[in-house]
């Protein structure tokens, strides 16, 4: 079990098309506590790239803030990402959702040529330097491929994303539901979640599997 192990969770907004995928975020938090560990939630204090109507997919004429939107999932208990200190945590985990590719990075628009938000990059590099585990769900493993480069990750079975990952010098492993790819050298733990056709039960199983695997390595 977790034995007071502490996870940092980075969110990217609230809602799959412009922020964090809510099922992935909630099931990750649930899995952490279910395994006897604790979490703190972080998000960058920046504007979202845009706001999407989640009923019809249209872009809405309004602005929203990633930290404030993420606070909806965190029930208000959240810190700006610039306050994250890797020394204080045993592991870092990043749920997916388009917010990863639109707010935490520009992957949605630039693919492998994307930039990653400096605070996100600092968080990942900080944990990597300390050889602490980093988990990523769904599309979030692209951040690890971009920043760490020579890494082994999974986003499931999506060929074009897998090719984009490999163009960065990373290795992609195809996976099914609740399978976790472990990169021992870099201490990376990735699972596909909604990159595959999935139910909320699949997401729960994926989150539980990746959290359980991380805890073995702390």
Catalytic residues: 138
Q: List, in sequence order, every beta strand (DSSP E) within the chain.
A: 6-10, 38-43, 51-52, 59-60, 79-80, 91-94, 134-137, 152-153, 171-172, 181-183, 188-191
Beta bridge partner(s), residue 181 = 190
**Does an H or E element contain 145, and which?**
helix 141-148
Report how far residue 124's alpha carbon sits from residue 194's, in angstroms, rounded to the nearest whole number: 22
C-alpha to C-alpha distance for 99 and 203, rounded to whole angstroms: 17
């Amino acid at each position: 079990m977790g034995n007071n192990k502490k996870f940092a969770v980075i969110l990217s907004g609230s809602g799959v098309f412009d922020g964090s995928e809510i099922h992935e975020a909630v099931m990750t938090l649930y899995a952490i506590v279910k395994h006897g560990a604790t979490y703190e939630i972080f998000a960058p204090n920046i504007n979202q790239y845009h706001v999407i109507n989640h009923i019809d997919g249209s872009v809405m004429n309004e602005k929203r803030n990633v930290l404030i939107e993420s606070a909806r999932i965190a029930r208000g208990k959240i810190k700006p990402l610039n306050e994250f200190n890797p020394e204080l945590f045993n592991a870092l985990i990043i749920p997916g959702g388009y917010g990863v590719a639109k707010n935490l990075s520009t992957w949605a628009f630039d693919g492998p040529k994307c930039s990653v938000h400096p605070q996100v990059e600092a968080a990942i590099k900080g944990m990597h330097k300390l050889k602490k585990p980093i988990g990523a769900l769904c599309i979030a493993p692209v951040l690890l491929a971009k920043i760490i480069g020579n890494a082994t990750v999974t986003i499931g079975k999506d060929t074009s994303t897998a090719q984009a990952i490999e163009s960065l010098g990373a290795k992609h492993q195809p996976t099914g539901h609740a399978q976790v790819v472990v990169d021992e050298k870099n201490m990376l733990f990735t699972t596909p979640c909604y990159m595959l056709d999935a139910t909320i039960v699949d997401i729960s199983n994926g989150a539980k599997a990746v959290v359980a695997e991380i805890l073995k390595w702390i």
